[in-house]
Homo-oligomer: A and B are copies of this chain.
Amino acid sequence: MPVEPPVVPSLDQLRAQVQVVLDRAHDQHAEQLAPIGTEMTALIDPIHALLRGGKRLRAAFCYWGYRAAGGAHSDAIVQVATAMEVFQAAALLHDDVMDRSDTRRGRPTAHRVLAAMHREHGWDGDADRFGEAGAILAGDLCLNWTDELYSTSGLPEAELRRGRAVFDLMRTQLMGGQYLDVLESVRPWESASTQDRIDRARLVIRYKSAKYTVEQPLLIGATAFGVDDDTRAALSEYGLALGEAFQLRDDLLGVYGDPEATGKPAGDDLREGKRTVLVAHTLDTATPTQIERFNELFGRADLDEAGVDWLRELVSSSGAVDATEAMISALSAHADAALDRATLTPEGERMLRDLVGIAVARNA
């Protein structure tokens, strides 16, 4: 009897399957909230809208971690992979409240949508506070649903238990990483050395991005099915390197990205004053006069187009872009090479190698 070739969904096919899980979960949650009142739709519709966007890289890494380890395609592993996206939605919702962001994935953020609803109705109290409260609760729902999707996925209990160690660690460490990011945005920075700034920015990247974007979703999938220690170590190395490269690309897009593609205003990171590796490199070679002007402009929420352009020019002319591109290339190569030390299914290995290029692509 001929052996059936393994099911190998393309990234688009996987995205569509994730959407099916999200739609079903949305309907089920809407039903659970219906007895409380029809007003609940205003709480959960922004979540569903947010979850329609995004590249779904986290779902892909989780799914392909499982498949690369030898697991077969199933609705269950697609549901586990979907949990990664819902977890990210929670992080984005709360991040946007903490940063008071206006836009996300090309749409107004959930707290802005809810604040606008408050204003339209002319309700009592402060519209922004109302919006923030709603978005905090929307993020809370996503955290609850992350685990609900994971635990009710239908993956065999033994697999869920193995994956859970990484799943739980991811959820704890991301909040730690977010807190470190908040801390780094308020602690003394101007007086720090370039190396110190780079080290601090890279630690934030590691815990706020690299681990939960690539390494941990990948290891959740891989350890759920089961891998040997060498493969696990190799996947971890791949994930951390690629996750860091992904964030460095994101930092470049935060300065130079096309708003159409990033879904955020041009130069958003400059207005936000995000203390990235890119900026640390820039300041390393800047003249005192440039630094003075930089300090005036960087982190100003009302920064105009000319200010954004001046900062961009400073970053480019400093060589920081080239240095960051070089880091991205080196980290991508490192990630790719790490796979040589892993024992993986051919289709899994192929997709993980493809994902290196996709995760660090220049078009958002």
Write the residues of chain A forming the contact surface with B, with a CB cutoff of 8 angstroms. 29, 32-33, 36-37, 39-40, 43, 90, 94, 97-98, 100, 118, 121, 123-125, 129-130, 132-134, 136-141, 143-145, 147-148, 151-152, 157, 164, 168-169, 171-173, 175-180, 182-183, 185-189, 203, 207
Contacts and interface: CB of A to CB of B under 8 A. Distances in A.
Contacts of A207: 36
A301 to B, nearest CB: 12
Nearest to A91: B140
30 contacts: A29-B172, A32-B173, A36-B176, A36-B203, A36-B207, A37-B203, A43-B176, A43-B179, A98-B129, A100-B129, A123-B187, A123-B188, A124-B185, A124-B188, A125-B185, A130-B186, A133-B179, A137-B175, A137-B178, A137-B182, A140-B140, A140-B175, A141-B172, A143-B143, A143-B144, A144-B168, A144-B171, A145-B172, A148-B171, A151-B151
A203 to B, nearest CB: 7
A180 B39 contact: yes
Which 7 A-B pairs have CB atoms at the shortest separation, nearest pair first?
A144-B171, A123-B186, A147-B147, A98-B133, A143-B143, A36-B176, A33-B176
B140 A32 contact: no
Contacts of A123: 186-188
A141 B175 contact: yes
A333 to B, nearest CB: 25
Contacts of A36: 173, 176-177, 180, 203, 207
Nearest to A189: B124
B186 A137 contact: no
A164 B139 contact: no
A134 B29 contact: no
A130 B182 CA distance: 7
Given A36-B203, A100-B129, A136-B136, 14 more contacts: A37-B180, A39-B179, A39-B180, A39-B183, A40-B176, A98-B136, A133-B179, A137-B175, A143-B143, A144-B168, A144-B171, A144-B172, A147-B151, A151-B151
A19 to B, nearest CB: 20
A158 to B, nearest CB: 10
Q: Quick one: which of A123, A171, A179, A187 has the most chain B CB within 10 A?
A: A179
Contacts of A98: 129, 132-133, 136
